[in-house]
Amino acid sequence: MKRFEKLAAQHQLLAEAAFAVVRRDGPGSLSRRGLAAELGASEAMARRVLAEHVRLPALAAQECEARRRRIGRRRSGVDLLLPVTEGAEVDVEVVWLRLVLLHATVGASTDAPHLAERYQLSVHDRGVSLPAPPDRGREDREADREVLAPYLADHAAERAGLVSRLTGGRPELADAVHALADGLVLAVCTGRLSPDAARTVLTDHLDRLTSTPTCGG
């Protein structure tokens, strides 16, 4: 195997390890040493493959994107907004939720512990509790948020395009559908709804919304 191919393969393994760590312990537990241990490899390998400027939450986000692409090849319509099956698809949404909650949407020194505690009980039974973020420097937190921003923006744009198609291009319906889909994803991740039940709720709601005539109709 050529050197660059070996490095690419090792980078992929580290991304998968980052995904597993975030899924199990949250992004606050990410470290080069921890990723190496996850793979049964040396910390030197992780440091050789990952330059110092590489932000580890981005590895988990990259793996989320890769898994979504693989899932998306088999899905269409509302099935692109929700996890369709238990297991791997729910795992992607759990990891994404943790990245969003702990690194993207919460201010550096505001409500992160409160929000984590708010969801703690509801997700505990699924084994995906959301711990409060570690006491890290503001510079580290801002760097993580900055590197995750493009992933969040791309995901939001994809969902916006899909919602637009599902609602027949009616912008007055988009916010309601977005909010419902986000709530259903959280309900599936926390074990409150099964994927099938969530899909039924969303499709029924879409049917009602899109069957309602516009004000000028």
The rounded distance, in Å, linking the Cα atoms of 67 and 59 is 12
Whole-number Cα distances in Å, 159 to 163, 178, 199: 6, 8, 16
What integer best gives the mean pLDDT of the chain? 80
pLDDT of residue 212: 66
Instruction: Tell me if 170 sits within 8 A of 214, measured CB to CB.
Output: yes
Percent of the chain scoring above 90 in pLDDT:
38
Range with lowest mean pLDDT among 32-46, 56-70, 95-109, 176-190: 95-109
Whole-number Cα distances in Å, 5 to 14, 39, 46, 66, 130: 14, 18, 16, 18, 36
> Whole-model pTM?
0.77
Instruction: Tell me if 28 sits within 8 A of 131, measured CB to CB.
Output: yes
Percent of the chain scoring above 70 in pLDDT:
77
Interval 97-119: pLDDT, tens: 888 876 554 444 444 444 444 44
Q: Which residue has 């793979």 as its token pair? A: 39
Interval 62-104: pLDDT, tens: 999 999 999 888 888 899 999 988 889 999 999 998 888 765 5
Cβ burial of 176 (10 Å; 0-12, 13-18, 19+) is middle
Q: Is residue 133 pLDDT above 80, yes or no?
A: no
The rounded distance, in Å, linking the Cα atoms of 70 and 211 is 32
Q: What are the domain boundaries of the chain?
A: 59-211
pLDDT of residue 82: 92
Residue 210 vs residue 88, higher pLDDT: 88
The rounded distance, in Å, linking the Cα atoms of 15 and 118 is 29
Amino acid in the structure at residue 43: E
